[in-house]
């Protein structure tokens, strides 16, 4: 049974993060609303419990609220990963159907965020505000941080303490052929540098804020992901591998085509107490 799935509902993004592993250079267009709704139904019927809407930037889709409400109506725990664009509007109009918001913050320094391709120098301050707004609306907060050559020697403890996420994930920047090659190379870090970043935040353990850690190996083959046109895709080979369309061949057949490894999903802590409203 597939319990947690990332649905990358579009490839468009208003940021220009040079490390992004999901640019979908090789995917044309995106699913219309009725197809996206059908994919959600198929995933729910197959046993999905938690559906995370990602991108690109998911809030760029005007039907995101409709998709979240539909998923919630099918009994799924709902989540998005966002750079904050249009999040205020989503919270105002659809927060009762949204369980989690994952905020993408890769450094506590505004200059580093800008150099990585996020924001105009106000990204960190805006996310502190948005984290507070999420909690005001009863939406649980996650923090996602990609650790790169610009941030591996940084101490983000003060920012994490301020945001107080229920779950903080630290990812070693991931090279992905056909997605970020030609852009990511200068940002890659060694396993030792990634370990140093993690150890620098060991003081957060007692506060329940220590990062959930995913190095390159942990990320490959351990996620169930759907692309913008309704196909599963996997990254176990170092490049994206796409299935046939889910609505054409069914969930089981399509998933078998992309190299998902359930044991790796469990090993990286993909199943946790995500709860629901």
Q: Please identify every residue annotated as catalytic.
A: 13, 17, 20
> Closest Cα to residue 202, out of 211, 194, 193?
211
Task: Give bridge partners of residue 223 from the DSSP assignment.
Answer: none
User: Cα separation of 204 and 157, whole Å?
Assistant: 7
Sheet with 241-245, strands from edge to edge, namely: 212-214, 167-172, 140-147, 100-104, 77-82, 50-54, 4-8, 225-226, 231-234, 241-245
Q: Tokens 């941080």, residue?
A: 145
CA angle 28, 8, 100 (to 5 degrees): 160
> Closest Cα to residue 173, out of 154, 153, 142, 150?
150
Calculate the CA 49 to chain-centre distance. Answer: 16
User: What are the DSSP E strand ranges found in the chain?
Assistant: 4-8, 50-54, 77-82, 100-104, 140-147, 167-172, 212-214, 225-226, 231-234, 241-245
User: Cα separation of 111 and 115, whole Å?
Assistant: 6
User: Cα separation of 218 and 236, whole Å?
Assistant: 10
**Exposure pattern of 49-78 as b/e (b: 16+ CB <10 Å)?**
bbbbbbbbbbbbbeebbebbbbbbebebbb
User: Cα separation of 32 and 228, whole Å?
Assistant: 9
């Amino acid at each position: 049974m597939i319990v947690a799935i990332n649905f990358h509902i579009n490839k468009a993004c208003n940021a220009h993060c040079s490390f992004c592993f999901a640019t979908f250079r090789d995917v044309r267009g995106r699913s219309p609303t009725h197809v996206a709704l059908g994919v959600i139904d198929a995933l729910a019927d197959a046993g999905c419990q938690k559906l995370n809407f990602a991108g690109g930037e998911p809030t760029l889709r005007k039907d995101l609220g409709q998709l979240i409400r539909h998923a919630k109506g099918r009994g799924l725990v709902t989540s998005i990963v966002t750079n904050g664009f249009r999040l205020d509007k989503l919270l105002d109009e659809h927060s009762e159907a949204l369980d989690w918001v994952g905020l993408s913050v890769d450094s506590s320094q505004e200059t580093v965020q800008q150099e990585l391709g996020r924001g105009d120098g106000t990204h960190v301050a805006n996310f502190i505000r948005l984290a507070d707004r999420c909690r005001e609306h009863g939406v649980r907060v996650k923090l996602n941080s990609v650790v790169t050559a610009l941030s591996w020697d940084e101490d983000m403890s003060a920012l994490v303490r301020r945001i107080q996420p229920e779950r903080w994930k630290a990812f070693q920047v991931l090279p992905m052929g056909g997605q970020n090659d030609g852009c990511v190379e200068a940002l890659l870090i060694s396993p030792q540098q990634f370990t140093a970043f993690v150890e620098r935040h060991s003081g957060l353990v007692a506060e329940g804020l220590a990062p959930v850690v995913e190095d390159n190996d942990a990320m490959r083959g351990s996620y169930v992901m759907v692309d913008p046109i309704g196909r599963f895709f996997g990254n176990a080979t170092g490049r994206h591998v796409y299935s046939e369309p889910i609505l054409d061949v069914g969930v089981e057949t399509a998933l078998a085509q992309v190299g998902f490894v359930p044991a790796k999903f469990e090993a990286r802590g993909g199943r946790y107490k995500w709860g629901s409203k």
